[in-house]
Amino acid sequence: MSHARSRRLFLRDLAAATLGGGLLAACARASANASANAIRPTADRVGVQLFTVRDRMQTDFEGTLAQVAQAGYREVEFFSYNGRTPEQVKAALDRAGLTAPSTHAALRPGPDLEKQLAGYQLMGHRYAAAGGPPPAGMRPGGQRPPMPPPSVDGVRRTIEQYNEVAAAAKPYGIKVLVHNHTMEFQPLPDGRTPYDVLLAELDPERVVLELDIGWATVAGQRALDLFAKHPGRFPLWHVKDMAGLAALAGMTSQAERQRAAKIVPVGQGEIDYRPIFAQAATAGLQHFFVEQDTAPDSGDSIAALRASIEGVRRALA
């Protein structure tokens, strides 16, 4: 090997080691800070992902926010603004007595990113999804179609996009959030999962994980194990309940597991949230949002939303 090539490889490895060390230090800082500043989950802090009532939001934006507040929710997480401006959304939130610390309406790199960030700051968002356009179409039961099988390179390209948006979002006091379904737990060729790569390579001071506990459970994961192994990394949760988990046994495809999952109101499924809420400090919890993708198909998404908050209250009692 030539001296020049040897030196290039040395510098590459040194840079990788330095970056890895920096991320390890960032993870350690984030873990300590998150655990120290974690909220205590109580019945007066329950939030809801408004995808749960998307049918109502389309036809009665302000009335639905009022009904959400009347049901006892205090925080909301948006998935769409139904054509409203940030000023209109903020006014509607204020009238309902709600706050919106988080959104799934994704920040997108490009010439409009700064304008989008200013609007999100106005609406009170401190966390926002980022990425390309959402997958087209919606399956029966409110399920989005599964994403194609991931690759290590694909995950790393996604991380680069998260980091790009997160750098622009930092001056606005906004962090990028990463939400999971099941495909994040499909093994990669090197034996890891995409979620392993995200945990190892995301900068937790700029990009945080929103653990969808329902989908993680469908994927065969235990929230308590994730909290213990990666303390402080999960400031946001989706509180989603699942029924019929035994039917998933033996399914090795995460796409198949996602298609077979049965989403029900919190407290009517098989996920015991009492011990999960008890480990909020370990997770670094800041906000938690009920989500039932299938609520509009029940015939009354507001009734489903009310059932879920009662389930959360029982778990917190």
Q: What gap in Å lies between CA 185 and CA 210, rounded to an integer?
A: 15
Q: Which amino acid is it at 146? A: P
pLDDT in tens, 256-268: 999 999 999 999 9
Other beta carbons within 10 Å of 245: 17
pLDDT in tens, 244-296: 999 999 999 999 999 999 999 999 999 999 999 999 999 999 999 999 999 99
Question: What Å distances lie between residue 14 and 1, 9, 21, 23, 80, CA to CA?
Answer: 18, 8, 10, 14, 44
**CATH no. for 3-316:** 3.20.20.150
pLDDT tens for the chain, 317 residues long, are 555 545 545 555 555 555 666 767 767 676 667 767 999 999 999 999 999 999 999 999 999 999 999 999 999 999 999 999 999 999 999 999 999 999 999 999 999 999 999 999 999 999 999 986 554 444 445 555 556 667 899 999 999 999 999 999 999 999 999 999 999 999 999 999 999 999 999 999 999 999 999 999 999 999 999 999 999 999 999 999 999 999 999 999 999 999 999 999 999 999 999 999 999 999 999 999 999 999 999 999 999 999 999 999 999 99
* DSSP line for the chain: --HHHHHHHHHHHHHHHHHHHHHHHHHHHHHHHHHHHPPPP-GGG-EEEGGGGHHHHHH-HHHHHHHHHHTT--EEEES--TT--HHHHHHHHHHHT-EEEEEEEEE-SSTTHHHHHHHHHHTT-SEEEESSPPPS--BTTTBPPPPPPP-HHHHHHHHHHHHHHHHHHGGGT-EEEEE--SGGGSPPTTS--HHHHHHHHS-TTTEEEEEEHHHHHHTT--HHHHHHHSTT---EEEE-EEE-GGGGTT---HHHHHHH-EEE-TTSSS--HHHHHHTHHHHT--EEEE--TTGGGGT-HHHHHHHHHHHHHHHH-
